C-alpha cells in the first residue's frame, strides 16, 4: 500500500487537510473544535509513524534494528510535521484569513481598556500610547499564521520523535507487524 515515509506523510497530511477544511466549511473552527483538531493531528501523527515503520519493515529484507525503525518513524514524523506546518500556514493565511483577527480582538479590547485605566490614573498620553502600540503589535505577532504554523511544525516533529521511539520499541518487542 505505502512505499516510503514521504508517501505516508503526504497521505495523512491530506487527511488532516480534509478534516480542517471540513471544520471550516461547517463554520466550527472557533471554540472547542480547535482542541479537537489538535487531537486529530496527534492521532494522524500516530498513524503516520506506525505505518511508516511498518512499511519499512515490510520492504526491508530480513529484520530491522531498533535504530532503523526509529529513523524511519522519525523521518515520517518529520515529513508529516513539515507538511502540516505548510498546510497550517496556507490555511490561516489564504483560506481562513479572519481566524486570527477574531482571536486577537478580545486581547486588543482588553489592552484598550487597560490603557484607558492608565490614562485615568494619570500616566502620560505618549507613554500609554507607546505601551498600547507595542502590546498590540505583540498580540498580532503571537496570534499570526506564521507563528502558529511554526509551533505546529515543531510540535508535531518533536512529538513524532517520541512516538517513533515508542513504536520502535513496541514493534521490536511484539512480532507480527511485518504483514
DSSP code per residue over 17-67: HHHHHHHHHTT--STTHHHHHHHHHHHHHHHHHHHHHHHHHHHSSSPPPHH
> What is residue 176's predicted lDDT score, i.e. its pLDDT?
64
Note whether residue 159 is domain-resident: yes
> What is residue 151's predicted lDDT score, i.e. its pLDDT?
93
Burial pattern 116-144, b for ≥16 Cβ within 10 A else e, equals: eebeeeeeeeeebeeebeebbeebeeebb
Look up the domain containing 31 and give its range.
5-96+147-173
For residue 42 the three cell numbers come to 496527534
Does the structure show a pLDDT above 90 at 48? Answer: yes
Domain count, the chain: 1
Taking the C-alpha atoms of residue 107 and residue 114, their distance in angstroms, rounded to an integer, is: 10
Does the structure show a pLDDT above 90 at 131? Answer: no
Q: Is 177 helix (H, G, I), strand (E, B) or coil?
A: coil
Note whether residue 68 is domain-resident: yes
Note whether residue 137 is domain-resident: no
Q: What is the pTM of this model?
A: 0.85
> What is residue 129's predicted lDDT score, i.e. its pLDDT?
85
Between 80 and 111, the higher pLDDT residue: 80
Averaged pLDDT for residues 87-113: 89
Query: What residues contact residue 99 under an 8 Å CB cut-off, 6+ apart?
Result: 29, 30, 92
Note whether residue 128 is domain-resident: no
Taking the C-alpha atoms of residue 141 and residue 115, their distance in angstroms, rounded to an integer, is: 20
Report which of 59, 69, 76 is spatially closest to residue 13, judged by C-alpha positions.
76
Diameter over CA atoms, the chain = 77
> What is residue 94's predicted lDDT score, i.e. its pLDDT?
92
Note whether residue 134 is domain-resident: no
Residue-averaged pLDDT of the chain:
88
Note whether residue 11 is domain-resident: yes
Taking the C-alpha atoms of residue 5 and residue 72, their distance in angstroms, rounded to an integer, is: 7
Note whether residue 166 is domain-resident: yes
Note whether residue 132 is domain-resident: no
Does the structure show a pLDDT above 70 at 6? Answer: yes
Amino acid at each position: 500500500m505505502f512505499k516510503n515515509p514521504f508517501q505516508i506523510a503526504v497521505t495523512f497530511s491530506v487527511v488532516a487537510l480534509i478534516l480542517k477544511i471540513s471544520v471550516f466549511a461547517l463554520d466550527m473552527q472557533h471554540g472547542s473544535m480547535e482542541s479537537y483538531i489538535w487531537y486529530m493531528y496527534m492521532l494522524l501523527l500516530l498513524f503516520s509513524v506506525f505505518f511508516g515503520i511498518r512499511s519499512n519493515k515490510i520492504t526491508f529484507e530480513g529484520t530491522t534494528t531498533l535504530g532503523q525503525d526509529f529513523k524511519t518513524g522519525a523521518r515520517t514524523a518529520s515529513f508529516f510535521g513539515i507538511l502540516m506546518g505548510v498546510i497550517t500556514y496556507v490555511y490561516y493565511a489564504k483560506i481562513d484569513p479572519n481566524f486570527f483577527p477574531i482571536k486577537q480582538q478580545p486581547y486588543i479590547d482588553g489592552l484598550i481598556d487597560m490603557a484607558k485605566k492608565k490614562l485615568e490614573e494619570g500616566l502620560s498620553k505618549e507613554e500609554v500610547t507607546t505601551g498600547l502600540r507595542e502590546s498590540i503589535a505583540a498580540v498580532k505577532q503571537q496570534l499570526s499564521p506564521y507563528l502558529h504554523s511554526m509551533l505546529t511544525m515543531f510540535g508535531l516533529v518533536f512529538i513524532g520523535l517520541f512516538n517513533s521511539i515508542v513504536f520502535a520499541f513496541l514493534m521490536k518487542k511484539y512480532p507480527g507487524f511485518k504483514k
